[in-house]
A and B are shown apart, each in its own frame.
Chain A
Amino acid sequence: MHPEEHQLNDYVDGVLDAREQTDVAWHLERCSECALFVAQLQCIVRDARALPPLQPPAAVWERIRAEQSAESDEQFATKTGSGAFFDSAPQKKHPTPFSGAYWALATAAAVVLAFLAGRVIEQQHQREAVAQIAAQTQAPEGSDVNSVSNMRERVLLVAVGDHLERSQMVLVELANAQTQGQLDISAERQAADELLASNRLYRQTALQLGQANVAGVLDELERVLVEVARGPSEVSMAQLAEIQQRIEAQGILFKMKIVNATITGRKAPVS
């Protein structure tokens, strides 16, 4: 009679009492089926204990630095009073043509430009741009909260629309690629890697702004981008088919088109 699987598991952990341990050991010497089971569990336990530490991607440290800088600036601004524009605490202000709404609009326009220039600027700059959107959560005194919120939304939509178009180009390339042998996808891989960092930022910003649908699609896109960015530069026919199946199975291109079409309809010019 074979021992139960949980007994064999306890044998692997060495937690059976002495007699049971001896009985199981005796059985294992005579039963190749149970011996194989135990060997497989031992292998899993041994390999799990030997798993080496993973190295985080360099981009994580860049993002931490950017966040820290933003926090330090905020603290500095609070201490010196130079952050008065974005402080929600009531401030005594002189009447001026540069009212809260004007500044919110101007900042929004600047952020749009920053996002559009995102094709050439580095990832940490994109982070700062997104941080600016977040900074606008503190509505300037006297401004209409709804209009500021709408502006932030429009800024995000412009940026995400542009991002989705670029991502779509990469995925369409991969979805339509064909090969009989090895295929060099290093360009797509690099593009996916670059898109990945901004994708994460847009997703987080979309969540902050309550754009759950946009965040959902960006989340699915991120999974595909990670697979491509972390995969090999050259893929075999089977590996390519696997990537294509992933793109196909999630219907990600279709979802991106829908979101993009919705965005195009919603991103009325900031005026």
Chain B
Amino acid sequence: MPDLLPSKAVRVSRALVENDDLVARCQAGDVDAFEELYRLHSPRIYSLACRMTGSPQEGEDLLQDIFLHVHRKLGSFRGDAALGTWLYRLAMNQCLDFVRSRQARMKGLTDTFEEDGSNEPAAPREAPITRLDLERAVQRLPDGYRAAFVLHDVEGLDHKQIAGMLGISEGTSRSQVFKARLKLRALLG
């Protein structure tokens, strides 16, 4: 049976052309185009925002801020990077700003976590871990641990990239991810 699906290269170039068209329409002030852009990219950005902040409410507020920022900045988008990459980078910067400013406001969260000594699972778990269990447990991580964990284990960045983004050493990033996993193991039982 012949392969009726377009090849990967064709699909990618078609997507790029569609993206260019979408950007051009957004830049021309087409409201429907901006909504289309939002529908296409908001789930990934919302997920990042929720997981980085550890709060669905803050994730919503951040998503709103990010897309308002995108709306203002789209005029300066020149297509040097793929639209998705540009959006993701912009969203990531806003998320990091948010986490940094909150960390500055709530200094000492990590210390509290270090002291609570609750890294052992309370009891063996009978039911399998669901996606929701994991999302909730991630929300309960201290900011520093959560940011490193989300960037490494969820978003798939390496420790060098994370170190650069969070302004920490690679060793600290490695250690934060390890401690986050220990804490999650305890939380998930």
B-binding residues in A (CB < 8 A): 5-6, 9, 37, 40-41, 43-45, 47-49, 51-57, 59-61, 63-65, 67-68, 71, 200, 222-223, 226, 230
The residue from B35, B129, B153 contacting A61, defined by CB atoms under 8 A apart: B35
Q: CB-CB < 8 A to A65: which residues of B?
A: 31, 35
Are A68 and B68 within 8 A (Cβ)?
A: yes
Closest chain A CB from B186 CB (angstroms): 10
A-binding residues in B (CB < 8 A): 31, 34-35, 38, 42-44, 46-47, 50-51, 56-57, 59-61, 63-64, 67-68, 71, 121, 129, 131, 134-135, 138, 149, 153-154, 156, 178, 181-182, 184-185, 188
The residue from B38, B42, B59, B131 contacting A47, defined by CB atoms under 8 A apart: B131
28 A-B residue pairs with Cβ-Cβ distance under 8 Å, sorted by A, are A5-B178, A6-B178, A37-B185, A45-B181, A47-B129, A47-B134, A48-B134, A48-B153, A49-B154, A51-B47, A51-B51, A51-B135, A51-B154, A52-B131, A53-B46, A54-B46, A56-B46, A56-B59, A57-B60, A60-B46, A60-B63, A61-B35, A63-B64, A67-B68, A68-B34, A71-B71, A222-B57, A226-B57
Are A41 and B47 within 8 A (Cβ)?
A: no
Given contacts A49-B156, A61-B35, A200-B57, contact A55 B43 (CB under 8 A): yes
Closest 8 CB pairs of A and B: A53-B43, A48-B153, A56-B46, A54-B47, A53-B47, A9-B178, A48-B154, A40-B185
A59 CA to B154 CA, complexed, in Å: 26
Q: CB-CB < 8 A to B129: which residues of A?
A: 43, 47
A71 CA to B156 CA, complexed, in Å: 36
Are A226 and B56 within 8 A (Cβ)?
A: yes
Are A64 and B188 within 8 A (Cβ)?
A: no
A52 CA to B61 CA, complexed, in Å: 20
A223 CA to B55 CA, complexed, in Å: 10
Apart from A48-B153, A226-B56, what are 15 other A-B pairs with CB-CB below 8 Å? A44-B188, A45-B181, A47-B131, A49-B153, A49-B154, A51-B135, A54-B46, A55-B43, A64-B68, A64-B71, A65-B35, A68-B31, A68-B34, A71-B71, A223-B57
Closest chain A CB from B46 CB (angstroms): 4
Closest chain A CB from B17 CB (angstroms): 24
A222 CA to B131 CA, complexed, in Å: 24
Are A51 and B38 within 8 A (Cβ)?
A: no
Given contacts A54-B46, A200-B61, contact A64 B154 (CB under 8 A): no
Given contacts A51-B154, A54-B46, contact A64 B178 (CB under 8 A): no
A170 CA to B31 CA, complexed, in Å: 37
Q: CB-CB < 8 A to A55: which residues of B?
A: 43, 46
Identity of the chain A residue whose Cβ is nearest the Cβ of B187 in the assembled complex: A44
Q: CB-CB < 8 A to A44: which residues of B?
A: 134, 153, 181, 184-185, 188
Are B182 and A51 within 8 A (Cβ)?
A: no
Q: CB-CB < 8 A to A222: which residues of B?
A: 57
Q: CB-CB < 8 A to B188: which residues of A?
A: 44
Q: CB-CB < 8 A to B51: which residues of A?
A: 51
A52 CA to B37 CA, complexed, in Å: 19
Q: CB-CB < 8 A to B64: which residues of A?
A: 60, 63-64, 67
A9 CA to B178 CA, complexed, in Å: 7
A200 CA to B31 CA, complexed, in Å: 25
A36 CA to B156 CA, complexed, in Å: 24
Closest chain A CB from B124 CB (angstroms): 9
A55 CA to B59 CA, complexed, in Å: 11
Q: CB-CB < 8 A to B134: which residues of A?
A: 44, 47-48, 51
Q: CB-CB < 8 A to A67: which residues of B?
A: 64, 68
Q: CB-CB < 8 A to A52: which residues of B?
A: 131
Identity of the chain B residue whose Cβ is nearest the Cβ of A225 in the assembled complex: B57
Are A45 and B68 within 8 A (Cβ)?
A: no
Closest chain A CB from B131 CB (angstroms): 6
